[in-house]
Amino acid sequence: MTEDSGLKENIVCPFCGCLCDDIGISVEGNKITENKNGCSISQARFLNHHDDRLPMDSPLKDLVKRAAEIIVKSKRLLIYGLSSTENDAHREAYKIAEEVGGVVDNTSSVCHGPTILGSQESGEPIAALAETRHRADLIIYWGSNPQFAHPRHMSRYTRAPGLYIKDGKKDRQIWVVDVRKTISAGVADRFIKITSGSDLEVISALRAIARGRILEVDSVGGLSVGELTELVEAMKSAKYGVLFFGLGLTQSKGRHRNIDAAIRLIQDMNHFTKWGMMPMRGHYNVAGANKTSTWQTGYPYAVDYARGYPRYQPGEYTAVDMLVRGEPDVVLNIAADPAAHFPRGAVKHLASVPVINLDPKRNMTSLLAKVNIQTAIAGIECDGAATRMDGLPLYLKKVVDPPEGILPDRDVLRMIYEEVRRLKK
Ligand code: SF4
């Protein structure tokens, strides 16, 4: 039970990869009445946490039993999601995958999976958000629209004053590189428009110029050689630069090659000055899903236990690819909505197999699921740990009780795991 009513301070907001840890939540009689400091997304999610909950057609223990029976009969179980729940729930999901020789993948396979592949090839010159605020005098957002997807990213970290950046507006430049003028580009100091699908060419040209090569063309990706040279000189003369990149870079033509090139550009810049880079992670704990998967299996996503030990192969054990090939015969979906976000071929197969769906709320996937189990919202109705976009683990607090009889994902998954083991004996 939660202790008492009143204002609870320093609450971590569990809705995007910023994991803002300065939220004040007022509670009266197990009801959230106010959210201080949260952005519009945070306000809506905290104040409406009780709305639109996932209906369950049977008592929890019967649903757990039904889920376990389906899993035990499966030949090719796919476990998917995990990025909008806390780390302990991840551990229980990996245990189920290992027990029945299934595949476990998280939502990074459809967002920053290419970032991980690029990092594995070229290293990870990562920055920290606090360091960015205190030191960075040049910020570049590439293929990312933080004002829309991470509403407090600019105000907390890149416009806010820091220890060595006394005035976040005068002492720091924010540039946006994108294919169209987004709302973030509108508030940035400079918008650099590139041609759609040309990210790899533009980054490669920047690297060539930084290394003193002469380009034998007039322009690359819509930017003249003069503009490219000016960009390189600005990056070289920054005291501390940070490149934030989003799906506009990871999911455009080139994909993990774009990230590989961007990492090498940042490595090149570190010959002249200090630069770091960071993916703009969307789901609040997608970075945690990659970390816990790596701790437990050795790999960040797309892990197959069919041979009794973990194997890693993006493109083969990634959820969309498996579904498009018609491979899984059961899907255990945790805190994600693949029916709403996957391509049609993947959803077609999803709709043809038994889906066990764990989520606090009703969603598109719940409409086609065979077993729906409502769970508590981590960071509001139960505690846990999550990992911020820069890799910092933060503790999610419980501020109100969940609806009666509703348990955290970790408890439901543990019950399913124990029932699976019992049925297998
Ligand atoms: S920016 Fe993200 S983490 Fe911060 S308050 Fe808004 S939704 Fe929550």
Ordered per-residue pLDDT tens for the chain, 425 residues: 555 689 999 999 999 999 999 999 999 999 999 999 999 999 999 999 999 999 999 999 999 999 999 999 999 999 999 999 999 999 999 999 999 999 999 999 887 777 777 777 666 788 899 999 999 999 999 999 999 999 999 999 999 999 999 999 999 999 999 999 999 999 999 999 999 999 999 999 999 999 999 999 999 999 999 999 999 999 999 999 999 999 999 888 878 889 999 999 999 999 999 999 999 998 999 999 999 999 999 999 999 999 999 999 999 999 999 999 999 999 999 999 999 999 999 999 999 999 999 999 999 999 999 999 999 999 999 999 999 999 999 999 999 999 999 999 999 999 999 999 999 98
* Residue 304 · residue 311 · CB < 8 Å: yes
215 and 118, same domain (yes or no): yes
In a domain, 14, yes or no: no
In a domain, 5, yes or no: no
CB atoms within 10 A of CB 252: 17
* Residue 137 · residue 165 · CB < 8 Å: yes
Exposed e or buried b per residue across 182-210, where buried means at least 16 C-beta atoms within 10 angstroms of its C-beta? bebbeebeebbebeeebbbbbbbbbbbbb
275 and 293, same domain (yes or no): no
β-strand pairing of 103-106 with 303-304: antiparallel
Tokens, residue 51: 């709305």
* Residue 373 · residue 64 · CB < 8 Å: yes
Last residue of a domain, one of 279, 299, 327: 279
Q: Which conformational region is residue 379 in: left (phi greater than 0), alpha (psi within -120 to 50 degrees), or beta?
A: left
Q: Using a 6 Å cutoff on CB, does residue 20 contact ligand 1?
A: yes
Ligand 1 centroid to residue 37 C-alpha, Å: 9
Q: Does the global pTM surpass 0.95?
A: no
Q: Among the residues of 22-161, which ranges form H helices?
A: 40-47, 60-73, 87-100, 113-122, 129-135, 146-149, 153
239 and 288, same domain (yes or no): no
pLDDT at 125: 80
75 and 121, same domain (yes or no): no
Q: Residue 244 maps to which CATH number?
A: 3.40.228.10
SS3 412: helix
Ligand 1 centroid to residue 38 C-alpha, Å: 6
The parent domain of residue 241 ranges over 113-279
Q: Residue 326 maps to which CATH number?
A: 3.40.50.740
β-strand pairing of 311-312 with 330-334: unpaired
Domains of the chain: total: 2
* Residue 79 · residue 104 · CB < 8 Å: yes
90 and 127, same domain (yes or no): no
234 and 348, same domain (yes or no): no
Distance CA 385, CA 289 (A): 11
Last residue of a domain, one of 264, 279, 294: 279
In the chain, what is the greatest distance between 2 CA atoms, to the nearest angstrom? 71
Q: Using a 6 Å cutoff on CB, does residue 16 contact ligand 1?
A: yes
Tokens, residue 386: 């999550």
Which residue in this structure is represented by tokens 């970790």? 410
Q: Using a 6 Å cutoff on CB, does residue 389 contact ligand 1?
A: no
Q: Using a 6 Å cutoff on CB, does residue 281 contact ligand 1?
A: no
